[in-house]
Amino acid sequence: MRILLLKNLREKDNKKIRTIELFGLSRSGKTSLLKELIKKGNKGILTRDISSEKKLFFLFKYFLKRPIKTLYLFLKLNTNWIIYNNISLKDYIKIFKMRNSYLGSVLGKYEIVKNKKEKFYIDEFIIQALFMIIQKKSDEKEIKNLLKKLPSIGEIMLVESNKKERYKRIKNTRFPAQQISEDYSIEWMKNSEYNYKIIKKILIKKYGPIEWMKRINL
């Protein structure tokens, strides 16, 4: 595993939110790293720490403050689908629920944590939501436009494991959404890998300085 810390130099953004978001491809080790950081005494929030009811309530508050941007994000998500003839309508309904609830959860979490005074680590957050909003292969223009519609972010910690390590973990667990369709899941993963390179390039251009942190074995 290697970790790339991107520090936000724009003071006005740093004052808005104090998060350090762990961002990376599926099975790259983000959640394991976050648990380790918390265990070592760092402030951190796991997704399971916030109830679904609380996230839903704060999603509503988020929407009231930013209705146009919120509607745009959900429209983008619901017009960007991987289509397979062998996936049933019932499965597409499951996918619809999964993707919409994920984005809603992220926006709700933002509204919950945005005013915290101390810096803290968090995963499954703003930048990670790009993988859920865009399921097809994207481009720099589309991703930059989405970043403008997403809420302000603090610092970002890119968490990377090589492909062999990630796929070994997947073999021991499963692809995201594999319970719905393995073909669908594999294409989604490949598209995420493609989009990750573009997102990483955009983030490195936007933020700095760049600090490579020592390898952490979990």
Instruction: State pLDDT tens for residues 71-120.
Output: 999 999 999 998 887 888 888 888 899 999 999 999 999 999 988 888 89
- How much of the chain exceeds pLDDT 90, in percent? 48
Instruction: Tell me, yes or no, whether 105 lies in a domain.
Output: yes
Instruction: Tell me, yes or no, whether 109 lies in a domain.
Output: yes
Between the alpha carbon of residue 178 and those of residues 21, 139, 160, 173, 216, the distances in Å are 26, 26, 22, 10, 28
**Banded model confidence at residue 161, pLDDT cuts 50, 70, 90:** confident
Instruction: Tell me, yes or no, whether 180 lies in a domain.
Output: yes
Instruction: Tell me, yes or no, whether 111 lies in a domain.
Output: yes
Residue 17: domain span: 2-213
Instruction: Tell me, yes or no, whether 218 lies in a domain.
Output: no
* CATH code for the domain in which residue 129 is found: 3.40.50
Q: Tell which residue, 160, 157, 127, 193, has the closest CA to residue 28.
A: 160
Instruction: State pLDDT tens for residues 31-82.
Output: 889 999 999 899 998 888 889 999 999 999 999 999 999 999 999 999 999 8
Model-level pTM? 0.88
Instruction: State pLDDT tens for residues 164-181.
Output: 888 787 776 665 666 677
Instruction: Tell me, yes or no, whether 122 lies in a domain.
Output: yes
Residue corresponding to tokens 């990630």? 166
**Number of domains within the chain:** 1
212 pLDDT more than 60: no
Q: What is the mean pLDDT of the chain?
A: 85
